[in-house]
Structure 1
Amino acid sequence: MVETWYNGIVTKIINETPNTRRFWIQVPELQAFDFKPGQFVTLDLPIHEKKNKRWRSYSIASHPNGNNEIELVIVLLEGGAGTTYLFNEITEGSTLILRGPLGLFTLPPEMDRDLFLICTGTGIAPYRSMVKFLHENNIAHPPIHLVFGTRYEHDLLYAEEMRTLQNGMHNFTYHPTLSRDTNPNWWGHRGYVHDVYEQLLSDKRPAHFFLCGWKNMIDEAKQRIIAMGYDRKDIHLELYG
């Protein structure tokens, strides 16, 4: 299969948190950029001679809506060649070479049990795509729990949007949890994502688990979910970093 690379034009950039930016990329060659919620694109960045050292993959944070523009949300990694290039060299109007959509981290064909969408950091991106797609298209779905872990409140991505969705969307609950924030007015959970889903699933009801974020979170979640009595087949992964 021949891989198709496209020229994407960066149409908008917004600083979402102190170290995270949202990039909107339009693909003029396509009338519509068709993808399934949860898929990703790979960027070819001019940061190395070897192509496999130039490639960086990011989940699509927007939902499919029939146009040719997608949104990526990217965190600046200290010492990371790819994100340093994106943050320092890319401005509105820049061109990015990309291919996609790619990946199988998508909604299960049989949505016959609760969905637990567990993430840290920019791992919220594919879940935002999934949840907004279900909501905008009025698709029936089981109860969905988005469990989002980060250190401080200012690191929360799409927080207002998720709270608005929770208020206006049937069977969707947003569970942000902060591991280091000491703000006494914080309204969400404290600690790590694992405590949250374990409490929610004390009844051991059937569930699909989606894990997206840093490797250490995913490794621990896999162990805990299996220890709770769930099958490995119930767990879907997307690894970052």
Structure 2
Amino acid sequence: MLEQWYNGYVTRIVQETPNTRRFWIQIREKDCFDFKPGQFVTLDLPIHEKKNKRWRSYSIASPPNGTNEIELVIVLLQGGAGTTYLFNEVKEGSELVLKGPLGSFTLPEQLDKELFLICTGTGIAPFRAMAHHIHTHGIPHQPVHLIYGCRQQCDLLYAEEMWQLQDQLSGFKYLPTLSQEDNSWTRHKGYVHLIYEELLALDKRPAYFFLCGWKEMIDEAKQRIMAMGYDRHDIHLELYG
């Protein structure tokens, strides 16, 4: 099957944190851009002659909503050709060539075990889509823990929205943890690993683990989760960089 590329139109851009932007992209060739929460799209950016050096993949941060518009949340990487182009050249009204949806980093058919969604930085994107999807469709679920690591409070993405969701979605816990925050931050401090280890210390319950973010965090989480006695088949990964 030939890969289907689409023209996406940037309808809106919001500077969310000092180095992160939200991009809304409309795929006008489709009435409804259908995908599963957790999937991604690949952009073909005019930054190189070789296509494999032009492609950049980003998780879809919005849940499927029956429209042809999706949201991506992208962090500016110092010296990164892809994000430099997106931040410097792309404006509202710009066109972007993309393909998707792609990937199998998606929720199990039955949410019959506790769900640990563990992420850093923009790795929250697929989990935001998943949490809203569970809420909107009233999907039966065991407790869901969104464990989100950032350096400082100003780096947290979708924080207000996640606190609201914690009030609205039964069994959903939002657990941000900051590694470089000062004493004004009274919630979790340090790294994501301490949180899931603490939650499971007394009772190793059946669980699914979804990990999204930088390779170092994912490698360490995988080792620690397996050291607690979980099977590698319980662990699902989406690597960034």
Q: TM-score, normalised by structure 2?
A: 0.99
Aligned-pair CA distance for 1:139? 1.5
Rounded to whole Å, the distance in 2 between the matches of 1:13 and 1:187 is: 32
Residue 19 of structure 2 aligns to which amino acid in structure 1? N
State the Cα deviation string for residues 137-187 of structure 1 (Å, max 9, x = none). 1211111000000100000000000000001111100000000111x2324
Question: Structure 2 matches for 1:222-241, cutoff 5 A?
Answer: 222-241=222-241
Structure 1: give runs of 5+ residues left out of the alignment.
none
Is 1:90 paired with 2:90?
A: yes
Cα RMSD of the aligned pairs, angstroms, is 0.6
Identity of aligned residues (%): 72
Partner of 2:176: 176
Rounded to whole Å, the distance in 1 between the matches of 2:135 and 2:15 is: 26
Rounded to whole Å, the distance in 2 between the matches of 1:168 and 1:138 is: 11
Partner of 1:140: 140
Partner of 1:158: 158
Aligned-pair CA distance for 1:110? 2.4
Runs of 4+ in structure 1 over 6 Å off: none
Question: Structure 2 matches for 1:1-241, cutoff 5 A?
Answer: 1-182=1-182, 184-202=183-201, 203-241=203-241
State the Cα deviation string for residues 23-53 of structure 1 (Å, max 9, x = none). 0000010000000000000000000000000
Structure 2: give runs of 5+ residues left out of the alignment.
none
Aligned-pair CA distance for 1:17? 0.5
Aligned-pair CA distance for 1:190? 0.2
Residue 91 of structure 2 aligns to which amino acid in structure 1? T
Aligned-pair CA distance for 1:188? 2.0
Residue 138 of structure 1 aligns to which amino acid in structure 2? G
Residue 85 of structure 1 aligns to which amino acid in structure 2? Y
Rounded to whole Å, the distance in 1 between the matches of 2:110 and 2:163 is: 26
Q: TM-score, normalised by structure 1?
A: 0.99
